Structure 1
């Protein structure tokens, strides 16, 4: 996993902790296929993306407690990503489903 910095994240509802991306995401960033910043902002603002209603409800409850937060975003027809913030809000990771 690679640490990323210098992404302004105003308006987040919870601490994201250290921001990291997996090697698969890093390869996509370096190839110009994606930018994780908009998805980190959406995740941090409570927009959980393309998860089912029960997962959205779990995330909403986790905002008040100490549970992990999981978002999924369909970047394009062939690319889906996950954004996961750990229960203690120490780390937020952007990853591919195959890296989960």
Structure 2
């Protein structure tokens, strides 16, 4: 017998006998961090464009506390920074195609919000 979809309070259709609960309403997934003015270095913008990744999408992840590919100590520092108005840093690994060599390489981009929450900057690690 096929599963009968049901609609959760988020408007998503999920199977009625699904073991996975629906995601919480988006209002509970709002920003944890004010970004201020969002900017990008020239090199970071070129990397985002080459990877086909939206800076808006990454900025939203950063604001919601999805700090990407960071280690546990940096995650702890970010959590402390949210409470104490410190700098918050995300690191995202991007798959970047290089058609001229028929290869895709993993490249890294950083997203940093200053302690005053006035500026968030996308940059390459070597620009940090």
TM-score after normalising by structure 1: 0.80
**What stretches of structure 1 of length at least 5 have no aligned partner?**
1-9
1:64 partnered with 2:92: no
CA distance in 2, matches of 1:80, 1:58: 20
C-alpha deviation, 1:31, in angstroms: 4.7
Equivalent pair of 2:51/2:94 in contact (CA under 8 Å): no
Picking from 75, 94, 104, the partner of 1:75 is 94
Secondary structure at 1:64's aligned position in 2? Answer: helix
Aligned CA distance change for structure 1 residues 37 and 63 (closer, same or farther; 3 Å):
same
**Whose relative contact order is higher, 1 or 2, with alpha carbons under 8 Å and at least 6 apart?**
1
Equivalences, count: 91
Equivalent residues in 2 for 1:15-34 (5 A)? 15-31=34-50, 33-34=52-53
Larger Cα Rg: Structure 1 or Structure 2?
2
Segments ≥4 residues shifted beyond 6 Å: none
CA distance in 1, matches of 2:90, 2:110: 6
**What stretches of structure 2 of length at least 5 have no aligned partner?**
1-28, 96-104
Secondary structure at 1:78's aligned position in 2? Answer: strand
CA distance in 2, matches of 1:32, 1:46: 22
Aligned CA distance change for structure 1 residues 39 and 30 (closer, same or farther; 3 Å):
closer
